[in-house]
Amino acid sequence: MSLANKITFTRLFMTLIYLIYLGFHVTSSKVVDTLVLDVCCTVFLFLSILDVVDGIVARSMNQSTKLGRILDPLVDKVSVGGSLILFLGIVDLSEIILPWMVVVVVLREFYVSSIRFVAEERGIEFPANLWGRLKTLSEVVVIVGCFLYISHLKNFDQSGYVLAVLKALIVVMLSSVVLSSIIYTVLLFRAMNEQNSNSNKN
Protein backbone atom coordinates (compact mmCIF):
# COMPACT_ATOMS: atom_id res chain seq x y z
CA MET A 1 0.00 0.00 0.00
CA SER A 2 1.32 3.43 -0.95
CA LEU A 3 2.08 6.13 1.62
CA ALA A 4 -0.75 8.28 0.26
CA ASN A 5 -3.29 5.49 0.75
CA LYS A 6 -1.96 4.81 4.25
CA ILE A 7 -2.57 8.47 5.10
CA THR A 8 -6.07 8.23 3.63
CA PHE A 9 -6.94 5.19 5.74
CA THR A 10 -5.51 6.94 8.81
CA ARG A 11 -7.75 9.91 8.08
CA LEU A 12 -10.76 7.61 7.72
CA PHE A 13 -10.09 5.93 11.08
CA MET A 14 -9.56 9.26 12.85
CA THR A 15 -12.67 10.72 11.22
CA LEU A 16 -14.83 7.89 12.54
CA ILE A 17 -13.40 8.30 16.06
CA TYR A 18 -13.99 12.08 15.87
CA LEU A 19 -17.61 11.67 14.77
CA ILE A 20 -18.34 9.03 17.42
CA TYR A 21 -16.82 11.28 20.10
CA LEU A 22 -18.79 14.34 18.98
CA GLY A 23 -21.95 12.31 18.43
CA PHE A 24 -21.82 10.84 21.93
CA HIS A 25 -21.68 14.28 23.52
CA VAL A 26 -24.37 15.73 21.24
CA THR A 27 -26.82 12.91 21.99
CA SER A 28 -26.11 12.94 25.72
CA SER A 29 -26.47 16.72 26.00
CA LYS A 30 -27.70 19.16 23.37
CA VAL A 31 -25.52 21.83 24.99
CA VAL A 32 -22.02 20.53 24.37
CA ASP A 33 -19.20 21.33 26.80
CA THR A 34 -16.64 23.90 25.62
CA LEU A 35 -13.73 21.51 26.14
CA VAL A 36 -15.41 18.90 23.93
CA LEU A 37 -15.99 21.51 21.23
CA ASP A 38 -12.36 22.63 21.38
CA VAL A 39 -11.10 19.05 21.12
CA CYS A 40 -13.40 18.33 18.17
CA CYS A 41 -12.44 21.57 16.44
CA THR A 42 -8.74 20.77 16.85
CA VAL A 43 -9.15 17.22 15.54
CA PHE A 44 -11.25 18.41 12.60
CA LEU A 45 -8.60 20.98 11.70
CA PHE A 46 -5.88 18.35 11.94
CA LEU A 47 -7.86 16.06 9.64
CA SER A 48 -8.24 18.91 7.15
CA ILE A 49 -4.49 19.58 7.19
CA LEU A 50 -3.81 15.86 6.82
CA ASP A 51 -6.06 15.89 3.76
CA VAL A 52 -3.80 18.53 2.17
CA VAL A 53 -0.71 16.48 3.06
CA ASP A 54 -2.36 13.41 1.56
CA GLY A 55 -2.88 15.21 -1.75
CA ILE A 56 0.66 16.59 -1.82
CA VAL A 57 2.15 13.14 -1.18
CA ALA A 58 -0.01 11.53 -3.86
CA ARG A 59 0.99 14.11 -6.49
CA SER A 60 4.66 14.58 -5.60
CA MET A 61 5.35 10.85 -5.29
CA ASN A 62 3.14 9.91 -8.23
CA GLN A 63 0.98 7.71 -6.01
CA SER A 64 -2.41 8.61 -7.47
CA THR A 65 -4.49 5.43 -7.68
CA LYS A 66 -8.12 4.57 -8.44
CA LEU A 67 -8.63 3.63 -4.79
CA GLY A 68 -7.13 6.92 -3.63
CA ARG A 69 -9.17 9.02 -6.08
CA ILE A 70 -12.37 7.46 -4.73
CA LEU A 71 -11.51 7.01 -1.04
CA ASP A 72 -9.80 10.38 -0.47
CA PRO A 73 -12.82 12.56 -1.31
CA LEU A 74 -15.09 10.01 0.40
CA VAL A 75 -13.29 10.61 3.70
CA ASP A 76 -13.82 14.35 3.25
CA LYS A 77 -17.52 13.77 2.66
CA VAL A 78 -17.85 11.63 5.79
CA SER A 79 -16.03 14.22 7.88
CA VAL A 80 -17.95 17.24 6.58
CA GLY A 81 -21.34 15.57 6.20
CA GLY A 82 -21.09 13.87 9.59
CA SER A 83 -20.14 17.14 11.29
CA LEU A 84 -23.05 19.07 9.77
CA ILE A 85 -25.54 16.32 10.61
CA LEU A 86 -24.38 16.29 14.24
CA PHE A 87 -24.56 20.10 14.33
CA LEU A 88 -28.33 19.75 13.91
CA GLY A 89 -28.44 18.30 17.43
CA ILE A 90 -26.68 21.28 19.04
CA VAL A 91 -29.11 23.89 20.37
CA ASP A 92 -26.75 26.85 19.87
CA LEU A 93 -26.57 26.07 16.14
CA SER A 94 -30.29 25.49 15.61
CA GLU A 95 -30.78 28.88 13.93
CA ILE A 96 -27.51 28.76 11.96
CA ILE A 97 -27.26 25.27 10.47
CA LEU A 98 -30.70 24.37 9.12
CA PRO A 99 -31.81 20.87 8.04
CA TRP A 100 -32.29 21.85 4.39
CA MET A 101 -28.71 23.12 4.22
CA VAL A 102 -27.39 19.78 5.44
CA VAL A 103 -29.61 17.95 2.94
CA VAL A 104 -28.16 20.04 0.09
CA VAL A 105 -24.58 19.30 1.16
CA VAL A 106 -25.14 15.57 1.72
CA LEU A 107 -27.07 15.09 -1.55
CA ARG A 108 -24.30 16.89 -3.42
CA GLU A 109 -21.73 14.52 -1.96
CA PHE A 110 -23.73 11.46 -2.97
CA TYR A 111 -24.22 12.90 -6.44
CA VAL A 112 -20.55 13.73 -7.02
CA SER A 113 -19.48 10.36 -5.61
CA SER A 114 -21.76 8.72 -8.18
CA ILE A 115 -20.23 10.84 -10.94
CA ARG A 116 -16.72 9.89 -9.84
CA PHE A 117 -17.65 6.20 -9.69
CA VAL A 118 -19.14 6.29 -13.21
CA ALA A 119 -16.04 8.04 -14.53
CA GLU A 120 -13.60 5.62 -12.92
CA GLU A 121 -15.62 2.63 -14.17
CA ARG A 122 -15.25 3.98 -17.71
CA GLY A 123 -11.51 4.32 -17.20
CA ILE A 124 -11.65 8.11 -16.84
CA GLU A 125 -9.48 9.54 -14.10
CA PHE A 126 -11.62 11.93 -12.09
CA PRO A 127 -9.64 13.47 -9.22
CA ALA A 128 -10.79 16.49 -7.24
CA ASN A 129 -10.26 19.75 -9.10
CA LEU A 130 -9.92 23.39 -8.03
CA TRP A 131 -13.68 23.88 -7.65
CA GLY A 132 -13.96 20.79 -5.47
CA ARG A 133 -11.09 21.96 -3.29
CA LEU A 134 -12.64 25.43 -2.92
CA LYS A 135 -15.92 23.79 -1.95
CA THR A 136 -14.13 21.69 0.67
CA LEU A 137 -12.28 24.75 1.96
CA SER A 138 -15.54 26.66 2.39
CA GLU A 139 -17.02 23.71 4.31
CA VAL A 140 -13.98 23.51 6.58
CA VAL A 141 -14.16 27.25 7.28
CA VAL A 142 -17.87 27.02 8.15
CA ILE A 143 -17.46 24.00 10.42
CA VAL A 144 -14.49 25.50 12.27
CA GLY A 145 -16.40 28.79 12.47
CA CYS A 146 -19.39 27.01 14.03
CA PHE A 147 -17.18 25.30 16.61
CA LEU A 148 -15.51 28.58 17.55
CA TYR A 149 -18.78 30.53 17.59
CA ILE A 150 -20.62 28.29 20.03
CA SER A 151 -17.57 27.59 22.21
CA HIS A 152 -16.06 31.07 22.48
CA LEU A 153 -17.41 33.82 20.23
CA LYS A 154 -21.15 33.73 20.91
CA ASN A 155 -20.92 35.26 24.39
CA PHE A 156 -18.90 38.20 23.05
CA ASP A 157 -20.97 38.80 19.93
CA GLN A 158 -23.41 41.32 21.37
CA SER A 159 -23.63 43.25 18.10
CA GLY A 160 -24.28 40.12 16.05
CA TYR A 161 -21.38 40.89 13.70
CA VAL A 162 -19.72 37.48 14.08
CA LEU A 163 -23.04 35.71 13.51
CA ALA A 164 -23.62 37.75 10.36
CA VAL A 165 -20.17 36.81 9.05
CA LEU A 166 -20.79 33.14 9.84
CA LYS A 167 -24.12 33.19 7.99
CA ALA A 168 -22.41 34.85 5.01
CA LEU A 169 -19.80 32.08 4.99
CA ILE A 170 -22.60 29.52 4.96
CA VAL A 171 -24.10 31.20 1.89
CA VAL A 172 -20.68 31.00 0.21
CA MET A 173 -20.42 27.33 1.16
CA LEU A 174 -23.84 26.46 -0.26
CA SER A 175 -23.09 28.40 -3.44
CA SER A 176 -19.83 26.49 -3.92
CA VAL A 177 -21.65 23.21 -3.27
CA VAL A 178 -24.12 23.88 -6.08
CA LEU A 179 -21.56 25.40 -8.47
CA SER A 180 -19.04 22.58 -8.06
CA SER A 181 -21.80 20.03 -8.72
CA ILE A 182 -22.64 21.70 -12.03
CA ILE A 183 -18.96 21.92 -13.02
CA TYR A 184 -18.33 18.24 -12.20
CA THR A 185 -21.35 17.28 -14.31
CA VAL A 186 -20.08 19.28 -17.27
CA LEU A 187 -16.59 17.80 -16.91
CA LEU A 188 -17.96 14.25 -16.80
CA PHE A 189 -20.00 14.64 -19.98
CA ARG A 190 -17.09 16.34 -21.71
CA ALA A 191 -14.71 13.53 -20.73
CA MET A 192 -17.23 10.89 -21.83
CA ASN A 193 -17.74 12.61 -25.19
CA GLU A 194 -13.98 12.79 -25.74
CA GLN A 195 -13.64 9.12 -24.85
CA ASN A 196 -16.42 8.18 -27.29
CA SER A 197 -14.84 10.31 -30.01
CA ASN A 198 -11.47 8.64 -29.52
CA SER A 199 -13.10 5.20 -29.61
CA ASN A 200 -14.85 6.02 -32.89
CA LYS A 201 -11.59 7.23 -34.43
CA ASN A 202 -9.88 3.99 -33.48
Q: What is the pLDDT of residues 78-108, one digit of tens each?
A: 999 999 999 999 988 988 999 999 999 999 9
Q: Average pLDDT, stretch 104-122?
A: 84
Q: What is the pLDDT of residues 167-190, one digit of tens each?
A: 999 999 999 999 999 988 888 888
> What does the radius of gyration of the chain's CA atoms come to, in whole angstroms?
18
Residues in contact with 145: Cβ distance below 8 Å, sequence separation at least 6, in sequence order: 165, 166, 169
Q: CA–CA separation, 28 vs 40, rounded Å?
A: 16
Domain 3-201 has CATH 1.10.3470: no
Distances (CA, A) of 62 to 65, 80, 142, 185: 9, 27, 32, 26
130-148 and 34-60 helices cross at what angle (nearest 10)? 160
What pTM did the predictor assign?
Answer: 0.88
pLDDT greater than 70 at residue 139: yes
Domain boundaries, the chain: 3-201
Using an 8 Å Cβ cutoff, are 130 and 180 in contact? no
